[in-house]
Amino acid sequence: MTRSDGNALGLHPRQLLRPGGPLYPSDAPRDVKVADHGRADADPGGLTIAVRLRGETVVWSDLMFPDREHGVVEEARFHLAQYLGEIERVHGAWR
């Protein structure tokens, strides 16, 4: 998140990683707000990603952060079983 928007504050894992929560993949793609600026002003900024399921792959898109070769990362892919296992593991740690 910091590499995409240095002013954004990540939303709490309990909010993002709850069972069936916003980062759980589904057949229908959806936009998920993962960070905001934490300001009370009218600025709607923050960081929103698109999450979708493509077969056995979870795809996060609409990313915009620098990679190690000075390019831009626009998409990340995760194997479904590993992704769900990691969400459950991290959610369990934040209960």
The whole-number average pLDDT for the span 55-76 is 82
Does residue 2 sit within a domain? no
The segment with the largest mean pLDDT, out of 17-21, 45-49, 53-57, is 53-57
Name the more confident of 39 and 1. 39
Does residue 3 sit within a domain? no
Q: How far is the C-alpha of 34 from the C-alpha of 38, rounded, in Å?
A: 12
Summarize pLDDT for 78-89 with one digit per residue, the tens: 999 999 998 888
Mean pLDDT of the chain: 78
Q: How far is the C-alpha of 64 from the C-alpha of 13, rounded, in Å?
A: 21
The answer on pLDDT for 90 being more than 90 is: no
Find, among 13, 27, 37, the residue nearest to 59 by Cα: 27
The whole-number average pLDDT for the span 20-42 is 77
Q: Please, what's the largest Cα pairwise distance for the chain?
A: 41
How many folded domains does the chain comprise?
1
Does residue 1 sit within a domain? no
Q: Which residues span the domain enclosing 22?
A: 9-93
Helix or strand holding residue 10 (H, E): strand 9-10
Does residue 33 sit within a domain? yes
Does residue 4 sit within a domain? no
The whole-number average pLDDT for the span 16-44 is 76
Does residue 15 sit within a domain? yes
Does residue 62 sit within a domain? yes
| pTM summary value | 0.73
Q: Render the burial of 58-77: b for 16+ CB within 10 Å, e for the rest.
A: bbbeebeeeeeeeeeeeeee
